[in-house]
Amino acid sequence: MTNLPPSGPRSPQRSPLDFDELIGIIVAFTTIGAILFWAFSRRDTGWNLGSLLPTQPTPGVQVSPGASNNVIPGLQNSDGKVTLPVIPPVGTNSDSNSNIWPPVNKEQNLEPNVGVAPPIIPGVVVPVPNINPAPQITTPVTGLPVTPPPRAFTDVPDNFWARRFIDVLSSRKIIEGFKDYSFRPDQPITRAEFAAIVERAFNKDIGQTKLAFTDVPVNYWATGAINDAIATGFLKGYPDKTFKPDQKITRVQVLVALVSGLNLKTPTAPDKVVSIYSDAKDIPKYAIDRVATATTEGLVVNYPDRNAFAPNREATRAEVAAMIHQALVREDRLPAIKSENIVQVK
């Protein structure tokens, strides 16, 4: 016999797979297969959610399935059409058979709800009808009157000789009536009342003035107007430091006050100017120059006789209104009006 060298150790024979290893391999292959199946069965741009949507289309905006820029993958119905669910705007009537925006009740002729847009979904372009807004209708604004209408006084009829003078001044609140809606045109006017009218009519900025009259208390209703009339040169006090606010003012005093306050120039030959009046002799000497000035400047208004001046008669509220009006016309602050009672010197 031949002695053979001892052989090396025999490799151990491979034992078969146990149960756990077999289960792991099956799970691995199953997972890989599921991934591959999912990859090959998925749509172009998203998950297939068709089975999750209701089979009946929801009223809204209908989108063509072939338009890739406005389709949400899987949002389709059994008929293959893609429908975006929308919430109808408040105040509109939703029609289950309508698929346009906004839903409109077919039985009513309603105007489109301009300015209402469908809900915004990120990544989705929803076509919206091109609704042109109705043109805005602008109502022209009429110009307001320069002054409010005159107050309708119960005791100033339309044919009253000073009606137009009163209307112009009352509309500008230069003169006012009484609480009973009367004007009392023939009532004499006091010096304090005249001072108040002058203050409202000419409204000159003179600052604060403080004058001490023994008969004008500090809390007197016309103290401010009296001080302003004195400071602007329309009126003067008396040498005994009194003003006599309740004293009735005469026609000649009214015209002297207006000429002095407006600083009007005296004409040549004043005596000749005042001679046109039938009662020129009754004009006080101190007032001749100023009455002549008032006459040439168109400030004198006489009623009922235009040629009778009646210088020392107490001025009525109507006469003061007419003379104040003429003074404002002289200052180019009011338009002139025609009246047969205005004295005109050629």
pLDDT tens track for 235-270: 999 999 999 999 999 999 999 999 999 999 999 999
Asked whether residue 289 is domain-assigned, the answer is yes
Asked whether residue 318 is domain-assigned, the answer is yes
Task: Reply yes or no on whether the pLDDT at 11 is more than 50.
Answer: no
Asked whether residue 284 is domain-assigned, the answer is yes
Eight-class DSSP state of 135: P
Reported as a single tens digit per residue, the pLDDT across 75-88 is 555 565 555 555 55
- What's the confidence (pLDDT) of residue 132? 58
- What's the confidence (pLDDT) of residue 212? 81
Give percent above pLDDT 90 in the chain.
Answer: 52
Task: Reply yes or no on whether the pLDDT at 58 is more than 70.
Answer: no
Asked whether residue 99 is domain-assigned, the answer is no
CA 259 to chain centre: 42
- What's the confidence (pLDDT) of residue 98? 46
The Cα angle at residue 84 between residues 79 and 86, in degrees rounded to 5 = 130
- What's the confidence (pLDDT) of residue 89? 53
Boundaries of domain holding 277 = 163-189+248-330
Average pLDDT estimate for 13-23: 67
pLDDT band at 28 (very low <50, low <70, confident <90, very high): confident
In 150-163, which positions are buried (b, 16+ CB within 10 angstroms) versus exposed (e)?
Answer: bbebeebeeebbbb
pTM: 0.58
Average pLDDT estimate for 161-184: 95
Lowest mean pLDDT among 136-140, 227-231, 246-250: 136-140
H-assigned helices in 14-148: 19-41
| Distance separating alpha carbons of residues 179 and 10, to the nearest angstrom | 139
Asked whether residue 317 is domain-assigned, the answer is yes
Rounded to 10 degrees, the C-alpha dihedral 317/320/326/327 comes to: -140
Residue 94 CB partners (closer than 8 Å, separation 6+):
59, 88, 103
If one counts the domains in the chain, the total is: 1
- What's the confidence (pLDDT) of residue 170? 94
Average pLDDT estimate for 12-26: 69
pLDDT band at 207 (very low <50, low <70, confident <90, very high): low
Task: Reply yes or no on whether the pLDDT at 131 is more than 80.
Answer: no
Asked whether residue 31 is domain-assigned, the answer is no
**Beta-bridge partner residues of 248:** 190
pLDDT band at 113 (very low <50, low <70, confident <90, very high): very low
The type of residue at 131 is I
Asked whether residue 315 is domain-assigned, the answer is yes
- What's the confidence (pLDDT) of residue 34? 81
Task: Reply yes or no on whether the pLDDT at 100 is more than 60.
Answer: no
Asked whether residue 180 is domain-assigned, the answer is yes
- What's the confidence (pLDDT) of residue 22? 77
